[in-house]
Amino acid sequence: MIPLRPGLFLGTAGDAATIAPDTGISHVLTVDSKEPPPLGDRQTKFVRALDDAGSDLLSFLDECVRFVQEALACTGAAVLVHCHAGVSRSATIVTAYMMKIDGLTFEEAYSKLQDVKPDVKINDEFVKQLKLYEKMGCNVDLTSADYKQYRLQKVINKYPELQNLPQELFALDPVSQEKTNEVLYRCRKCRRSLFRGSSTLNHIPGSGPNAFAHKRMTQTHREGQTKCTSYFVEPVQWMEPALLGVLDGQILCPKCRSKLGSFNWYGDQCSCGRWVTPAFQIHKNRVDEVKHLSFSNVKNVSS
């Protein structure tokens, strides 16, 4: 068990099982695959997570940081953050705490932690999650396009059969809330509202024709076209019946059944060359963009 700063310790499962009274540890945060046995009158928090590429710690970082912060705010209290070996999962939580509380970048916080505990080695997946945490301002922003894309990427690991997907995974059907200031996208054929502007998941454009060198070059790619010809979106409620239990397929308008695009849970390549995972793409030439116009500043002029 290593003291990182007054009242904050990083350790292993063995450390948690043999806490000495003179440490003053009153709170224990466990990040492991199995919940530990009761620890007397100490306040505890448990996050179930494996130390692998399929685990999601990002979604728990805010509440874990808050647990540590509130523990250290108690007079005379101390907190132990631990996983099985004290190397990766618990180090991820402590790094997130240092980033948020001390205003450090991921690299700065991770370097400081390794100075104190050289054997710390956060796995590559958790490194990516911490960098996304930093990008979101050290707050898990559920409305962030980056977070939505990240959450979708975890679906295959958590729900391999793609059944009983959580409802919060799907954006609201815009038909249920037509009155909005947001940009709407409607089926070009039947005018049915399909998704909102906030449901689009933008990506960094790819390398264009170079990304398709392994395929026969289409006329578009021969001309060097690198623009995106599709919108990549989060799943919307009306898509749910088509998405459950299958890895890929067509996306059809729920009203007129005209083809809008396609989906693939393992990803697909945009026309710009960028690979997007998972991919729910709507072809731009199948929908119309409808913007809200405000007339609040328009004055009536009488003749």
The structure tokens listed for 292 are 């809200």
Q: How far apart are CA 231 and CA 271, in angstroms?
A: 11
Helix (H, G, I), strand (E, B) or coil at 45: strand
The structure tokens listed for 88 are 């990766």
Q: Is 83 a catalytic residue?
A: yes
- Of 64, 83, 138, 270, the catalytic one is 83
Using alpha carbons only, what angle is made at residue 69 by residues 68 and 73, rounded to the nearest 5 degrees? 115
Q: How far apart are CA 118 and CA 108, in angstroms?
A: 14
Q: How far apart are CA 206 and CA 191, in angstroms?
A: 31
Report the chain's C-alpha Rg in angstroms.
Answer: 24
| Residue found by looking up tokens 């933008």 in the block | 202
With beta carbons less than 8 A apart as the criterion, state whether 289 and 185 touch. Answer: yes
Residues annotated catalytic, as ranges: 83
